[in-house]
Amino acid sequence: MKKAFSSMLSFWFLFSLSFGNIASANGVIQTEVAPEPYALPFEPTESEIEALRSAYNAVNTNIPNEVFATQPTLSGGIYELGELNSAAINKAVEQINFYRKLAFGGFNPDAEDSFYQEGFDLAYNSEFFEIAQRGAIGMAASNKVVRNLALDATKPIDMPDIFWQQANEGTFTSSISASAEKQTLNDVQDDMMASQSVGTYSDYNRARYDDQTVVWRSKLLSLNASGLGFGYAPSNDLGKDPDHFAVTHLGPDDFTVLPGSNPFDIKTVAHWPSNGLFPYELYQKHSGSHQNMQWSVHLNAIGYTGFTSASRPLTVTITNTETDEVTSIPLPASEVTPLNGQYKAISFRPSDDFKPELDVWYRVDIKGNPNQPSGQFEYTYHTRFVQMAVEEKTYNVTYNVGEEGTNAPTNQTKQHGIDLTLTSDVPSRSGYDFLGWDTDPAAETVVYKPGDIYKEDADLTLYAVWKLKTYTVTYDANGGTGAPADQIKEHDVDLALSSVIPTKEGYTFLGWDTDTAAKTVVFNAGGIYTANANVTLYAVWELNKVPPVQKYTVQYNANGGIGAPDLQIKTHGEDLTLRNTLPTRKGYTFVGWGTSPDATTVAYQPGGIYTIDADITLYAIWKLDSIDPVDPKDPVNPVKPGPNTNNNKKPQTSDQSWLWLALTTMIVSFTILARRKQSMEI
């Protein structure tokens, strides 16, 4: 298909060479080019149709009715521009750019090298708004739609001269000047592009109107335009018809062709209906006494008048490529419209017998003789009308909650191309939690949750995804330590409680209860929990009973002496420091304490530590002191040995000492007894 299209481009390149010979030589065509064999264009895909449908519906949806943000002023010598509604402006800009893209093959996948593919969307320009708005106010103030206010209208008395001059410029340079009952900015462009007209016209006026429509189209499709602005103003006399005036201005120079361009180059030729897909509803927008809109092919040429002679008319045919039915177009004498010295356009209107069918390729053949005895040119393109209003198609979204589920949401209906918000209703099932929806009845994970968006244009059955309910058993040591880890209980499945027992110093663990202050238990460690509910179990403690403190007696026995310490009491498990008090005994030295009366080995010292948990009596251990010799004559006063003067005399042996001691003791004893007897006799 693209090969055929390239062949067409090659043909027009050759034709451009012929056109150059015509313009520069003596008016004789040097070369004739035979038309290429006919070939059908592309078969549009659903995505290509959807792209056109989406763009068309976008510019025809929610068009703001209120044009003004601030009303202009047109009286009392005050002429203020006012301000247009930004939403209305944006919609009108979007509409014009859509028309331009459509006319230059922007929706034709075979026109990859079309001028539009290089990008020439127009942006709104505040400077161009001022130009257009002054023109609209000038027409509204004079209540006249003209191309040149200075020539065809009278300046209002109260309008400043400078404003009148600017208003005249605004109408003279406008791309569209129009009047009508109050309407949106988009309506004005629709009038021009769809050949909308009202009322009854003579054939002459009809032809004039058709030509003027093509003029306005050419200006909206200007190749070199870089921006646009809109003007809109209500008449000073709203009781008159028309009561509103509109101006569309493309700038900076909306009538300049691309230098050096072949006027028949497919890249720069605009077609209406388009070369490719064309909205059927847009074609049907025209009104008036005719069945069909005015068709036009806009050439990138200025001042070329080779096809305007009445003696050399063009012929146009429209062929249904499926039925081969041919519709011949009856043309007036000047079918190549000079457009007041600007763009050239071949324009024609099919008769009322022509009724375009949907989704059928129509081949448009234009043939002409460029004012010469010999030579012929041919131009062919294709158009196909596509329904923009999609037949309302719906898709069913069905909810399945399974045999045990209840409260299934109501099924929903999705509109084609419109996202659907899934129901937020949640089903229920005894013993289960609802997780969401999936397209698989056995799924354990979810694809959609309540309130999610469903985008696909297809029927859908959603199955509830369930999860068996579970409950948490939490243990609280309630002041103790070592509480068991949490446990999970499944619905209707008994749970064996943990056998782990917490601890608390001074207390005995009794079991578990649901009350922190409980004194009795509901569950024992390792018991069975059957309820289908979360629960927190608190340890139940009992204070341990403290037994009497065991006491032990430590007694001291002087064991022949006197001054034994007082007894002491030892507490079980606690060390006892023995008393430091020392007993006495004449002739003896206290050595320490033993554990029996006959003990000779010291077990404890005064101030020592007693650690044994038992009663005990400690006995003093004595050491006999040494005794001096006793004089037999005076046993009371012992003899004190003098210095040893007999150095040669050997010391007494130990046996002699004991003998002497015994003898002395006997003498003392007898002496004492004798004195007692004597005293008794007295």
The DSSP bridge partners found for residue 617 are: 555
| Per-residue pLDDT at 390 | 72
Cβ atoms of residues 230 and 132 within 8 Å: yes
The DSSP bridge partners found for residue 556 are: 618
pLDDT band at 35 (very low <50, low <70, confident <90, very high): very low
C-alpha distances in Å from residue 198, one per residue of 206, 209, 314: 11, 11, 28
pLDDT value at 76 more than 70 = yes
What percentage of the chain carries pLDDT values higher than 70?
75
pLDDT value at 334 more than 50 = no
| Per-residue pLDDT at 148 | 81
Cα 296 to Cα 345: distance, rounded to the nearest angstrom: 6
**Range in 137-146, 377-386, 465-474, 647-656 the model is least confident about:** 647-656
Contacts of 195 (CB under 8 A, 6+ apart): 210, 213, 286, 288, 293, 294, 349
pLDDT value at 143 more than 60 = yes
**Range in 77-91, 262-276, 666-680 the model is least confident about:** 666-680
pLDDT band at 199 (very low <50, low <70, confident <90, very high): very low
| Per-residue pLDDT at 211 | 61
C-alpha distances in Å from residue 84, one per residue of 87, 159, 228, 231, 243: 9, 22, 14, 8, 17
| Per-residue pLDDT at 108 | 81
| Per-residue pLDDT at 674 | 63
Contacts of 238 (CB under 8 A, 6+ apart): none
pLDDT band at 254 (very low <50, low <70, confident <90, very high): low
Name the amino acid, one letter, at 12: W
What is the average pLDDT value for the chain, to the nearest integer?
A: 79
The DSSP bridge partners found for residue 454 are: 420
The DSSP bridge partners found for residue 381 are: 364
Name the amino acid, one letter, at 459: D
Higher pLDDT, 637 or 15: 637
pLDDT tens, residue by residue, 151-192: 888 888 889 999 999 999 988 888 888 877 778 888 888 877
| Per-residue pLDDT at 640 | 53
Residue 262 per-residue DSSP state: -
Higher pLDDT, 666 or 421: 421
What average pLDDT does range 60-69 have in this prediction? 88
Q: Which of 53-67, 104-118, 218-232, 502-516 has the highest mean pLDDT?
A: 502-516
C-alpha distances in Å from residue 11, one per residue of 7, 42, 371: 6, 19, 20
| Secondary structure in 3-state letters for 227-258 | EEEEEEEECCCCCCCCCEEEEEEEECCCCCCC
Q: Which of 108-117, 148-157, 362-371, 573-582 has the highest mean pLDDT?
A: 573-582
∠378-383-385 over CA atoms, to 5°? 160
What average pLDDT does range 599-609 have in this prediction? 93
pLDDT value at 203 more than 50 = no
What average pLDDT does range 293-297 have in this prediction? 86
pLDDT value at 317 more than 50 = yes
| Per-residue pLDDT at 639 | 52
pLDDT value at 439 more than 90 = yes
pLDDT band at 261 (very low <50, low <70, confident <90, very high): low
What average pLDDT does range 416-426 have in this prediction? 92
Q: How far apart are the first and last CA of the chain?
A: 176
Quick one: which H or E segment has residue 667? helix 654-681
What average pLDDT does range 14-22 have in this prediction? 30
| DSSP states of 576-599 | EEPP----BBTTEEEEEEESSTT-
Residue 117 per-residue DSSP state: G
- Delineate the domains of the chain, giving CATH numbers in brackets: 2-386 (3.40.33.10), 394-468 (2.60.40.4270), 470-543 (2.60.40.4270), 551-624 (2.60.40.4270)
| Per-residue pLDDT at 566 | 93
Higher pLDDT, 87 or 41: 87
Which candidate, 288, 299, 282, places its Cα nearest to that of 335?
A: 299
| Per-residue pLDDT at 453 | 95
pLDDT value at 258 more than 90 = no
What average pLDDT does range 111-123 have in this prediction? 72
Q: SS3 of 149, please?
A: helix
| Per-residue pLDDT at 223 | 78
Confidence (pTM): 0.54
pLDDT tens, residue by residue, 556-597: 998 999 999 999 999 998 999 999 999 999 999 999 999 999
Cα 467 to Cα 447: distance, rounded to the nearest angstrom: 15
pLDDT tens, residue by residue, 625-658: 886 665 556 555 555 555 544 444 444 444 555 5
Q: Which of 497-501, 570-574, 675-679 has the highest mean pLDDT?
A: 497-501
Residue 300 per-residue DSSP state: E
Q: Where are the beta strands (DSSP E) in 369-441?
A: 377-386, 394-400, 412-415, 420-421, 432-438
Contacts of 117 (CB under 8 A, 6+ apart): 105, 106, 111
| Per-residue pLDDT at 669 | 67
pLDDT band at 542 (very low <50, low <70, confident <90, very high): very high
pLDDT tens, residue by residue, 443-472: 999 999 999 999 998 999 999 999 999 999
Cβ atoms of residues 233 and 136 within 8 Å: yes
What average pLDDT does range 45-50 have in this prediction? 88
Cβ atoms of residues 166 and 134 within 8 Å: yes
Which candidate, 180, 188, 323, 318, places its Cα nearest to that of 249?
A: 188
| Per-residue pLDDT at 40 | 74
| Per-residue pLDDT at 681 | 52
CA dihedral of 250, 255, 257, 263, whole degrees rounded to 10: 110
Cα 296 to Cα 519: distance, rounded to the nearest angstrom: 100
| Per-residue pLDDT at 285 | 81
Q: SS3 of 336, please?
A: strand
What average pLDDT does range 351-358 have in this prediction? 88
